[in-house]
Structure 1
Amino acid sequence: MQTQSTQFDFTGQKIYVGIDTHLKSWNVTVMMDPYYQKTFSQNANAQTLFNHLHENYPGGSYFSAYEAGFAGFMPHYRLMGLGIESIVVNPADIPTTGKEKVQKNDSRDSKKIARSLKNGELTPIYVPSLQTLADRSLVRLRKTIARDLAKTKTQIKSFLHCNGIDIPDDLSKENWTRKFIKWLIEIEIGPFRETLEGHLAKYHYFYAQKLAINRKVKMLSATPQYKDNMELLQSIPGVGYITAITFLTEIENIKRFKSLDRLCSFIGLVPSTNSSGENERIGEITPRGHRILRDILVEASWKAIGKDPALGATYSKLGHRMKPNKAIIRITKKILSRMRFVLNNQTRYELGYK
């Protein structure tokens, strides 16, 4: 018995794939010129998608895009490893119709991504190397542990206050010294003892974790990949090793920013604007940006104005005509300019450079 089958060949054709990622499933839309479109759901697996494309569109050139989010960059690496060209995009940068804004669902999201990819309307975000991602996760873990430790300290102080347990005058100004911890361990507080011991167990756990992660981050900052740039950044007043290693692991390559303005925009040190005709309104700092870098650079700027006379004088002048939170952003831009300069030129900062 003879059978008839049709084997399509898509050699030379571009296959555009929009992916809406979720924890256990992907909603996928495939588009081709001029009008072909297919939407389906599959498990969250790059190999499954490749198998579908290879079986249904053999020989084609595959191009995919998905939104940056909880899925991170691993789908990108796996898609690229299978021969599927992949980009990751900022959700805010995907062209969206009015209907798509009010009638949002997974199918529409994947169609929107595929359509924009096909039309050449998407700008990919920067994808760091796997090693940088691993280094970044280690530095971010340090921040998380430090926050957990600070929260636990606050909980202990609050517990003491709420239950009428006064801290002795000679310890009231102690900043979690061994003497203060010894007092917490030995204090007689009757039925509240068990609860306090629970809080102290958390404190000791997070404290030990912080010591361990600090050692690992110190070791990371001393590796050949970071050592020289760490020294350059720390030559700038106000920039300590945590600020430096955070900056290097979050940015990876400073040369991808062709100007200081682009770097400021990426971090979120630019104001929002609203222009209409001849009127232009400049608002507060845009909420869009890199919150981790923005926070740590602002913190470094507060330290810098106390260490660098020129920056201190500049901040004082700015303080006469604007609020402190706006003045410090100006200082942050100057700090960022210095960081970019020393990295691009591979030269230490000399006090007095503006």
Structure 2
Amino acid sequence: MNKITTIGLDLAKNVFHAVCCDQYGKQVGRKLLRRNQVLAYFAQMESCLVGMESCGSAHYWARELQKPGHQVKLIPPQYVKPYLRGNKNDYNDALAIAEAVTRPEMRFSAINTQEQQDIQALHRLRERRIQERTALCNQVRGLLAEYGLIIKVGVRSLQRKLPDLLEDAENGLSDVFRRYLIQIQQQLQELDAHIDFYNDLLQEQNRQNEACQRLQSIPGFGPVVASVFYSMIGNGENYRRGRDVSAAVGLVPKQHSSGGKDRLLGISKRGDRYLRSLLVHGARSVIIQAATKDDRLSRWINRIRAERGYNKATVALANKMARIGWAVIVQKTVYQAA
């Protein structure tokens, strides 16, 4: 039997499928594995290249399979699809992964550390609570509008107005609906407490992380942006240059070129949507302040805004922020305005 050099592993919750290939890419074996058999199976294998799709639990399995000495690479699922032949099944998926992982020009996802996953989990929980609070506020504003009471958009506007609505006996609200508003007021207070809890944890993590501290020296990088950026980029060693980071986030133009004619479209919007939106919001805050400043970055922003408009200047600055963020992490320095 030829020596196994590459294994394609199709991840699942309980039943995993592995396809083993030799140095020539020929399939020499395959195995169905239960969840509790995976680590034992790879522990008795000689060190080899293991490919997996970058999906749920992939980072955990990548870290675990690295411990016995295997080289693990994560591939975005959209890059595996072209290598799938025949009907879709788990073994064919694993074989496609084994073929894709050996391609010299294949793009791989970075393997997140446990610290990065902790930060991502914090942001997911915080974002969910913010969405719940926004949805509740919008629902209450809609219900109040049915009673002829119009509340301005915004969480704080509703929170300030609720006590007045409960105390006003002549606004036409029934006693039953007032009981609803009391319960809603308590729910908003609970959601605020949850969000404050996550904000405090976020601040604490930033104080303990040197990279996040250095990222906050960049204009537009606050505690939230710096934390999310670090959780996605890590130490930056998986990117050759800053442009690769901005491309991974989806802040570079999408191409549709043919026949030697370059055609650039709008931004690709690939990668993490949450990080891209935060970079854009951070860029907006910098652009607002740039109108009254005369440093090098502000002059560049004002020139782009005058030539291309506000929105394109915002995306251009977000692109630049991603590049600067990568340089600050890799070079272990802080942003210098000069």
Moved more, 295-304 or 29-38: 29-38
The reply to whether residue 329 of structure 1 matches residue 319 of structure 2 is no
Moved more, 246-255 or 177-186: 177-186
Residue 23 of structure 1 aligns with which residue?
Answer: 13
- Post-superposition Cα deviations, 1:44-75, rounded to whole Å, max 9, x if no partner, equal x2x51344467xxx664343211011224111
Residue 275 of structure 1 aligns with which residue?
Answer: 257
Q: How far apart are the structure 2 equivalents of 1:97 and 1:324? A: 42
Shift in alpha-carbon separation, 1:80–1:232, aligned structure 2, 3 A: closer
What residue identity is the alignment partner of 2:156?
N
Structure 1 position 118, deviation (Å): 5.3
User: So what's the TM-score if we normalise by structure 1?
Assistant: 0.79
The reply to whether residue 124 of structure 1 matches residue 131 of structure 2 is no
The reply to whether residue 258 of structure 1 matches residue 240 of structure 2 is yes
Q: SS at 2:217's partner residue?
A: coil
Q: How far apart are the structure 1 equivalents of 2:95 and 2:218? A: 48
Residue 160 of structure 1 aligns with which residue?
Answer: 144
Shift in alpha-carbon separation, 1:30–1:172, aligned structure 2, 3 A: closer
**Please, which runs of 5 or more residues in structure 1 have no aligned partner?**
1-7
Q: SS at 1:237's partner residue?
A: coil
- Root mean square deviation, CA, Å: 3.2
Q: How far apart are the structure 2 equivalents of 1:151 and 1:312? A: 37
Structure 1 position 207, deviation (Å): 0.9
C-alpha contact (below 8 Å) 1:94/1:122 kept by paired residues: no
C-alpha contact (below 8 Å) 1:29/1:38 kept by paired residues: yes
What residue identity is the alignment partner of 1:132?
Q
Q: SS at 1:280's partner residue?
A: coil
C-alpha contact (below 8 Å) 2:283/2:317 kept by paired residues: yes
Residue 151 of structure 1 aligns with which residue?
Answer: 135
Q: How far apart are the structure 2 equivalents of 1:265 and 1:172? A: 35
User: So what's the TM-score if we normalise by structure 2?
Assistant: 0.82
Moved more, 185-194 or 127-136: 185-194
What is the aligned counterpart of 2:32 among 38, 41, 44? 41
Give the alignment of 1:285-324 within 5 angstroms.
Answer: 285-308=267-290, 309-310=293-294, 314-322=300-308, 324=310
Structure 1 position 271, deviation (Å): 0.8
Q: SS at 2:156's partner residue?
A: coil
Shift in alpha-carbon separation, 1:116–1:306, aligned structure 2, 3 A: closer
C-alpha contact (below 8 Å) 1:50/1:82 kept by paired residues: no
Q: SS at 2:257's partner residue?
A: strand
What is the aligned counterpart of 2:64 among 74, 78, 83? 78
What residue identity is the alignment partner of 1:23?
K
Shift in alpha-carbon separation, 1:339–1:186, aligned structure 2, 3 A: same
Shift in alpha-carbon separation, 1:157–1:274, aligned structure 2, 3 A: same
C-alpha contact (below 8 Å) 1:94/1:116 kept by paired residues: yes
- Post-superposition Cα deviations, 1:21-64, rounded to whole Å, max 9, x if no partner, equal 22232232223356444444332x2x51344467xxx6643432
What residue identity is the alignment partner of 1:275?
S
C-alpha contact (below 8 Å) 2:17/2:33 kept by paired residues: yes
Larger C-alpha radius of gyration, 1 or 2?
1
Residue 99 of structure 2 aligns with which residue?
Answer: 115
* Regions of 4+ moved over 6 Å: 171-174
What is the aligned counterpart of 1:233 among 215, 220, 229? 215
Q: How far apart are the structure 2 equivalents of 1:174 and 1:262? A: 38
Shift in alpha-carbon separation, 1:242–1:121, aligned structure 2, 3 A: closer
Shift in alpha-carbon separation, 1:74–1:303, aligned structure 2, 3 A: same
Moved more, 147-156 or 204-213: 147-156
What residue identity is the alignment partner of 1:289?
G
Percent identity among equivalent residues? Answer: 20
What residue identity is the alignment partner of 1:306?
I
Q: How far apart are the structure 1 equivalents of 2:331 and 2:21? A: 45
C-alpha contact (below 8 Å) 1:306/1:312 kept by paired residues: no
- Post-superposition Cα deviations, 1:293-315, rounded to whole Å, max 9, x if no partner, equal 21111000100012233556544
Structure 1 position 197, deviation (Å): 3.8
Residue 123 of structure 2 aligns with which residue?
Answer: 139
C-alpha contact (below 8 Å) 1:14/1:63 kept by paired residues: no
C-alpha contact (below 8 Å) 1:237/1:307 kept by paired residues: no
Shift in alpha-carbon separation, 1:148–1:294, aligned structure 2, 3 A: same
